Homo-oligomer: A and B are copies of this chain.
């Protein structure tokens, strides 16, 4: 990694030169961390390094996944050091909360309204109105760097280890974070350390511990610490007795109004947290750390350059999308409290169900070495923890929403020829998923309902989420089979290719809104299930008819208990990414399929805000109508995405929605697990991908205007290119893909050579 970083840094510098004319400002300045902070985006707005372990930011809503609440009438109660970005469900993290304040020193709760809020790449700033304290934050990978400016006397800082997100009054509530323990020790008049130990959260994880070591730039004058509700003056240690602890520091001796503070965190120990400070920020130069973090982002953002003619909003949308994609998973190499190994360690896969579709393919394009690390980390988790995660957070596999989609990442890496991965071990991890039932509540890892799937060929209605589990397992099986084939494991290849057709076992010949054939629930004996038990009124259970538009969850059954997870059969029945031709045939042929897609989009059965339909707007490609894929996709983007704070139409899910947008703005979109990208009309006249291998690939859209939105013809490296898809290899070899755009759909381009179906 180091070698490549240096290499790319040099590359940036030269690129800087070359593009100085078309690029007046650094790309990181186009990142607007507020995009997605209003509405459903659930974006984390604080500073973070790429894949950064520490994510310091304001908390003003304990029920918010990012800790953040845009409503400025809601008070901030602290700045905690750990957050996730874009997630839904019960919150996770929000640990090691600090708060500057003035006034009553002997008061644990300290809240303030805010103003003058700024969020930029690597930087956050806010004025705490109650005391006129400006708080600025920047960060290195594992250390948060704070700068406070006080304007009143009684300058004080609180460190609160009992504060965290998603706490509920009822103990052991599902998805709630729950307190386990905390400890604080004041070491000197500038150093404090301790930890907060929490369990639960969205993935119902076992306990994780966030250790911290904090250093003040200048000594405090007095301090107090607390346990439970009791504040004790000058008590330097509050040992862990399963109660909430924290400390208050008074800086009234401070000569200037300014105070800096560094907080190193670690998932291993307090001394490691201190070491992280020494290793990353051994100085007090706030600007230097900020500049380093900006450069880390600049390096990555520069890997994809877009034409300077793009509008400012487009630039903001595009680079913010790249930024969002690279916030998570989190690089915790050297911070694994569970085992040691030579493999990298990543956490906060939250969840692969969301990110496998476009986030990881985008990471693969920008920094394949990073994706290799991530895949190796998944295989290492399998080796030491039993299964690869579908979701993992706080060092704990927890939650599968449908498939065992880590398998898609391995297949994607294999198909794209990423080096440095032990695919033999990867295949073993995949086979474990596919053959060994995970047990317990079957939602922690592996494949729930596997006993059904492996015996009757589908997950029957006796298991929850039977519909999307069956569909996703079929695709996971395809992925497994392809890797097996590559490794010449033909027994597994044949078995799992056959199983990859299992989606057909739930395909029922019913009609709905003019289309025929849907994935529908079936019992273990093979009978179709027509109705489902729903609410109870007057002591009687009501049954509702199950239709392709039915949503049994969350009203009839729990959120996790429906036939499909978070979408209807209208959406999921189009989810066969490995065999779209068979899907088209099942649906009644090209015309019926086109009509079906049109109905989906026109009648609003499509949900822009969730991942199951990520590929759907490109399915027109398989009936030789890439023009319709282009127009549909553009329609979706223009209607739902924008450069404002509410500019992400659903939970960003660790950058999933953002990466979907970024790909489509470039005009390519991956079919994750396979090696090709579908081509649609780009938003930019020119896109340059600076590949990690040193080559570059240009995508040029000639004649692109607001009216010329259809690809009339194309050339690849000067030769005619009539297909509406391109293989990963053709991109990484470098070159130039040129589109000639026109106001009308082409009747020839992308019609003949359809996207490949590799058996």
Contacts and interface: CB of A to CB of B under 8 A. Distances in A.
A398 to B, nearest CB: 11
A242 to B, nearest CB: 4
A268 B182 CA distance: 9
A334 B387 contact: no
A334 B179 CA distance: 14
Interface string A259-279: 000000000110110110000
B439 A271 contact: no
A272 B185 CA distance: 12
A237 interface: yes
A50 B441 CA distance: 37
A636 interface: no
A240 B276 CA distance: 11
Interface string A330-350: 000010011111000000000
A437 interface: yes
A273 to B, nearest CB: 9
A594 interface: no
A430 to B, nearest CB: 16
A436 interface: yes
B386 A207 contact: no
Copy number in the complex reads: 2
A199 interface: yes
B272 A240 contact: yes
A269 B451 contact: no
Given A437-B439, A438-B440, A440-B386, A272 B239 contact: yes
A492 interface: no
A325 to B, nearest CB: 30
A207 B385 CA distance: 11
Given A386-B440, A439-B437, A439-B442, A183 B337 contact: no
A172 interface: yes
A667 B352 CA distance: 62
Contact of A340 (B179, B268, B338, B438): B179
A275 B239 CA distance: 7
Interface in A420-458: 436-442, 446, 451
Given A387-B440, A438-B439, A439-B440, 15 more contacts: A172-B383, A180-B337, A183-B271, A183-B272, A199-B338, A206-B338, A207-B339, A237-B271, A239-B272, A239-B275, A240-B269, A240-B272, A436-B441, A437-B437, A438-B440
8 contacts: A178-B339, A183-B269, A185-B271, A207-B339, A242-B334, A387-B440, A436-B439, A440-B446
Closest 3 CB pairs of A and B: A439-B439, A239-B271, A242-B340
